[in-house]
Amino acid sequence: MGRIVVISTGGTIASRWQGSGFAADAHGREVMATAAVPEGVTIEVVDLFSVNSPRLTTAHQLTLLRTVHEVLDDPGVNGIVVTHGTDTLEESAFLVDLHHDDPRPVVFTGAQLPLDAADGDGPGNLHDALLTAATTRGLGVVVAFDGKVHPARGTVKTQTLARDAFGDPSGAPVGNVGFGRVSVLRRPRRPAALALPGMPGTPPRVDMVMHHADADPLLLNAAVDAGAQGLVLVATGAGNATPEMVQAVASAGARGVLVALTTRVQAGPVAELYTHGGAVDLVAAGAVPSGTLRAGQARIAVLAALLASTDPRERERVLRHALGEAVSADADPAVQLVQT
């Protein structure tokens, strides 16, 4: 079925007991040794790093992004599997998806149980990811986990410990894995890919601030004063806060800070419905609504916009593009299944 490159980055799928808790320490070949490889698939392993995913930095993620592009420079590669910690998998996968312009798949996977667990889920997830990478085309970047295939865009970790850890609360999977095949259910809608960014010496700072009862602009203003070039306001409801937060957003924008507006509610879009500090006023103050993307992926969209340009207007345009304002299903390549 093809040649698949596995990029190993650590996470629970590569974790062992350290005396007081689990931590990533296994190399990619050790992880691969636990899984059944689909017939006809050949494997190459790239050990990029081995860390618990909460420790990932923007520099790690940009290194992963560039590595994916370097691997796909080889026309003999049929697809990529990235083994990744589940805590920040949704962010890394979305970053790669924003810059992915190739019909060959990039499939992220991981585990909820550690490497040596007798009933671990890592081997099954890895097998499914390999099968997805070898037999599909035109899906963009996806997440293969617990028998389902999810689009990178919109998919978040929905369970802290359960095996069925990922999903898009506002959408549906793109496929299922079972009986030795991948059943593609739909084609994800994705904007045109962004150009590959450079590797900045110091990546731009992008912070997140959550609104709540009694919240004031103190933390938002502190982030700006600390040098944040981008912010994500995690509002309540359909994207609502207070008049004081609106003023803080306007002041941040006046200082050149790019602001995205999302919500702490699990599912549904940000919507301009309410004034008196609601989304109507926040958007008028310069915040860019994130649609159904939640905080982690909204932050990645802001980061991508900051890396794309130094011009404030162009940054906002790229942010709106990354958030999917003008996504067209017609712009995507057709989903294909590789004949096996």
* Catalytic residue IDs: 12
Q: Determine the 3-state secondary structure of 73 from DSSP.
A: coil
The letter for the amino acid at 320 is: R
Q: 52 Cβ partners below 8 Å, 6+ apart?
A: 10, 11, 15, 23, 24, 85, 87
The two tokens of residue 150 are: 């999810």
CB-based burial of residue 324 (10 Å sphere; 0-12 exposed, 13-18 middle, 19+ buried)? middle
- Contact, 72 vs 104, CB < 8 A? yes
The two tokens of residue 22 are: 């689990």
Exposure string over 283-311, b if 16+ CB within 10 A, otherwise e = bebbbbbbbbbbbbbbbbbbbbbbbbeee
Largest CA distance in the chain: 61
- Contact, 62 vs 75, CB < 8 A? no
Strands 166-167 and 156-157, by their bridges, are antiparallel
- Contact, 49 vs 10, CB < 8 A? yes
Closest among 94, 79, 57 to 168, alpha carbons compared: 94
Name the CA dihedral angle for 11, 12, 14, 20, rounded to a multiple of 10 degrees.
110
The two tokens of residue 325 are: 């304002």
Q: What is the DSSP letter of 240?
A: B
Q: Phi and psi (nearest 5°) for 239?
A: 120, 50
